[in-house]
Structure 1
Amino acid sequence: MSEWQIHSVKYAERGQRTRADSFIFDDNHDAPHDIDYYVWVLRQGDQTILVDTGYDDTEAAARGRPIRLNPVAALAPFGIRPEDVDQIIVTHLHYDHAGGLHLFPNATLHLQAAEMAYATGPCMCHDTLRMPFTADHVCEAIRRLYSGKVQFHDGDAQIADGITVHCIGGHSRGLQCVRVRTQSGWMVLASDAAHFYENLHARKPFPIVVDLQNMLDGFDTLERLASRPDLIVPGHDPLVRDYFASDLASHIHRLDTGPQKAVKT
């Protein structure tokens, strides 16, 4: 029974947001609500699997959303060389999750087929749906496909012993979460199936959504997959850094050991 270490790696943050940017139907819509940006590192022995890549300085400048650390620099405390990364689970192709694919040129991408179809299909004729994507990132995924370095999944799939992916959709058509066996039990990296703990626990959907029912049903899926609710890790919540202990550097937190205090639900 393989148990994996999981680390969250914060590479950016953004203030000057309100709760209206994070929740549909929120009564306190104009109150401030900050967001963090993460990638995740899965390790077991000499195996390393990266979950998402963040975005780089070029994308940061283009969108006016500065990053604190280039993803490669953010991963430096692990001793990870980008050319040595051979597997990346891409939860979805939005800019803040797939904007650094080109930084890891030798990696095979694990991607839901529905996500590639969505990012290259007629839905992208709509400005609102296209906004979180960047053409160069999608083209990088296509280039990787043509070099034989994309493994497509359709729904649930096993990536390695103790690691599975599960298509949820909602926020993006082929959004997938990642279920990982750890010393604390089955932990679920929700990615953007739940940006914040409050999205999940209060059943408050995030405003960027292609299928609202899938997003709402996805909250139930996350709870079904995890050994217990506090082992569901949202994709963008600053509270992750409060609940889990820092490790290796101030921007890195160890998740597989479990939260260091009770998660409010």
Structure 2
Amino acid sequence: MRIHHLNCGTMRGLVDHCLLIETQNELVLVDTGFGVETVRNPGKMLGPTRFTLGAKLAESETAIRQIQALGHDPRDVRHIILTHLDVDHCGGLSDFPEATVHVHGPEFRAATATPTFSEKLRYRAANWSHGPKWMVNEVEGGEDWFGFRAVRGLEGLPPEILVVPLAGHTRGHAGVAIDTGAGWLLHAGDSYFVESSIHPETPVTPFFWKMYETGSVLGEAYRENQKRLRELQRLHGHQVTIINSHDAVVFARAAGL
């Protein structure tokens, strides 16, 4: 498999780190970032978050345009794996209407049933109003993976791609682990925001991000999973490379920039 690191949305010094995975027969996206419709109609797709995110919307940064620039047909994107359903992670779903969209059950229900006021604010149904081909997976069962529980493969995807429950930032937040053949790559989504937060020996979270993290839907789970990520770095850093969604330094290193 070949993995491309894509920035699908620049936001006030942050990136929107998505993955394009070339498997033997098809393309797989991990998150979509902002989509074409986000760029063309931000009020509808982002709502009030268009101002808080500070997004610098550019169609050239959308996943579909970057996939085309790589010489691929976007129709070959057969699967999209979402870390969660915040607008900056699923805004490009409508650009790939034929893809199967994999999402954890607790996340799907939180986004579609809006059980709390804060969740109603964070999710925008406009991003899935086209009717995606949902594939909802639950968090029960699964296997152990480097100390993370209920890790599983996804229907229709190669066994080298696993979904890792990482609840906290949202109810059904998940990471995606990929066996590259030379070690594991774990996309941890919004489980942390700056790399220093998961330093294995001396973790430091800047004050702004520490305050931002207090908005996690499941605070205790968020802190526990961040602790597990630090342990993963400490014990298995030679086997697993951890990336996230928004740290520009992590993205630049992963993308070889």
TM-score tier, shorter chain, comes to 0.7 to 0.9
Counterpart-to-counterpart distance in 2, 1:90 and 1:245: 20
- 2:136 aligned residue: 152
Q: Which has the higher contact order (CA 8 A, sep 6+)?
A: 1
Over residues 15-36 of structure 1, what are the superposed CA-to-partner deviations in whole Å (9 max), with x where a residue is unaligned? 2xxxxxxxxxxxxxxxxxx211
User: 1:73: how far off?
Assistant: 1.0
Instruction: Return 5+ residue gaps in structure 1 as ranges.
Output: 16-33, 247-252, 254-265
- 1:186 aligned residue: 184
- 1:104 aligned residue: 96
Counterpart-to-counterpart distance in 1, 2:196 and 2:19: 21
More helix by share: 2
Counterpart-to-counterpart distance in 1, 2:217 and 2:123: 13
User: 1:183: how far off?
Assistant: 3.3
Q: 2:167 aligns with which of 166, 169, 185?
A: 169
Q: 2:123 aligns with which of 100, 125, 133?
A: 133
Q: 2:223 aligns with which of 213, 216, 219?
A: 216
Answering whether residue 6 of structure 2 is matched by residue 9 of structure 1, we say yes
User: 1:150: how far off?
Assistant: 2.0
Residue correspondence of structure 1 range 189-200 to structure 2 within 5 A: 189-200=187-198
Counterpart-to-counterpart distance in 1, 2:22 and 2:204: 31
User: 1:173: how far off?
Assistant: 0.7
User: 1:203: how far off?
Assistant: 6.2
- 1:35 aligned residue: 14
Counterpart-to-counterpart distance in 1, 2:214 and 2:38: 22
User: 1:234: how far off?
Assistant: 1.4
Answering whether residue 76 of structure 2 is matched by residue 66 of structure 1, we say no
Structure 1 vs Structure 2: percent identity of aligned residues?
24
- TM-score, structure 1 as length reference: 0.73
User: 1:244: how far off?
Assistant: 3.0
The SS at the match of 1:120 is helix
Counterpart-to-counterpart distance in 2, 1:129 and 1:176: 17
- 1:87 aligned residue: 79
Over residues 166-222 of structure 1, what are the superposed CA-to-partner deviations in whole Å (9 max), with x where a residue is unaligned? 111111111110011013311101111123213333264534410111111112444
With over 3 angstroms needed to count, the CA separation of the structure-2 counterparts of 1:180 and 1:225, relative to structure 1, is farther
Q: 2:250 aligns with which of 240, 260, 263?
A: 240
Counterpart-to-counterpart distance in 2, 1:245 and 1:168: 24
Counterpart-to-counterpart distance in 2, 1:203 and 1:118: 30
- Check conservation: 1:113, 1:174, Cα contact below 8 A: yes
Counterpart-to-counterpart distance in 2, 1:203 and 1:175: 22
Deviates further, 58-67 or 71-80: 58-67
Counterpart-to-counterpart distance in 1, 2:164 and 2:30: 14
With over 3 angstroms needed to count, the CA separation of the structure-2 counterparts of 1:225 and 1:87, relative to structure 1, is farther
Deviates further, 215-224 or 87-96: 215-224
- Check conservation: 1:186, 1:225, Cα contact below 8 A: no
- Check conservation: 1:9, 1:75, Cα contact below 8 A: no
- Check conservation: 1:11, 1:54, Cα contact below 8 A: yes
Answering whether residue 212 of structure 2 is matched by residue 228 of structure 1, we say no
Deviates further, 201-210 or 155-164: 201-210
Q: How well do the aligned residues superpose, as a CA RMSD in angstroms?
A: 2.4
With over 3 angstroms needed to count, the CA separation of the structure-2 counterparts of 1:103 and 1:55, relative to structure 1, is same
- TM-score, structure 2 as length reference: 0.75
User: 1:245: how far off?
Assistant: 4.6
1:244 counterpart letter in structure 2: A
